[in-house]
Amino acid sequence: MHYTNAPPPFDGDAKDQRSWTRWAAEWLYEARKVCKLGAPVCMFIDWRQLPAATDALQWAGWIWRGTAVWDKGNSRPQKGRFRQQAEYIVWGSNGDMPINRPVPCLPGVFKYGNPQNRIHLTEKPLQLMQDIVKITEPGGHILDPFAGSGTTVLAAVLEGYSATGVEVTDAYAKLARDRIDAAVGSMA
């Protein structure tokens, strides 16, 4: 039971780095198996887990092609230190990624503040995800194995893709479904 107005807690955020890397490599491997040859992959990660993320991606058989930046604009100031105001988007492809795919040039830095009135503790800005999904070819199907509040799935649908989201925490699965149904309903 969850009795406060704060977003509900969620599963899967308590592994040390070795366990996290092994776990990430396994799900990235399973995800790659259901993706088309040439499909892009994007994984959000903070600075601390960045090396582990690029290892896991490659151990799972994806080709690592770069790291884009989500600049959140603000974060806790720390005297004598750089602000940790960015998250990183490790991206790659399932094998070859031909240069003539019908996808425009995309930026390498995305500047969006955290969403107001978040329904998930780590909810991404919707416009950020609308920008990111454009790495997918038109008509593509997008998989988010950690759907949370459904931002990626909603962004995909708003940009004309089909999508599948997987979410282990029941409260978030329901919040995501309701959010997407409401948005898609209001488009009809």
Q: To which H or E segment does residue 20 belong?
A: helix 17-33
Stretch of 84-92, 101-109, 118-126, 130-138 contacting ligand SAM, by CB under 6 A: 118-126
- Smallest gap from Cβ 181 to ligand SAM, in A, equals 16
First to last CA, the chain: 34
44: three-class secondary structure by DSSP = strand
Size of the site for ligand SAM (CB under 6 A): 18
Site for ligand SAM in 61-100 (CB under 6 A): none
Take residue 88 and report the two structure tokens written for it. Answer: 């990183």
CB nearer to ligand SAM: pick between 95 and 145: 145
Stretch of 8-16, 32-40, 57-65, 76-84 contacting ligand SAM, by CB under 6 A: 8-16
Contact call for residues 90 and 54 (beta carbons, < 8 A): yes
CB nearer to ligand SAM: pick between 11 and 37: 11
DSSP state of 43: E
- Smallest gap from Cβ 95 to ligand SAM, in A, equals 25
Cross-strand pairs, 154: none
Interface with ligand SAM, residue 123, by CB under 6 A: yes
Radius of gyration of the chain (CA): 17
Site for ligand SAM in 142-181 (CB under 6 A): 145-146, 148-149, 151-152, 166-169, 172
Take residue 142 and report the two structure tokens written for it. Answer: 């997008």
Take residue 85 and report the two structure tokens written for it. Answer: 């105001």
Binding residues for ligand SAM (CB under 6 A): 10-12, 120, 122-124, 145-146, 148-149, 151-152, 166-169, 172
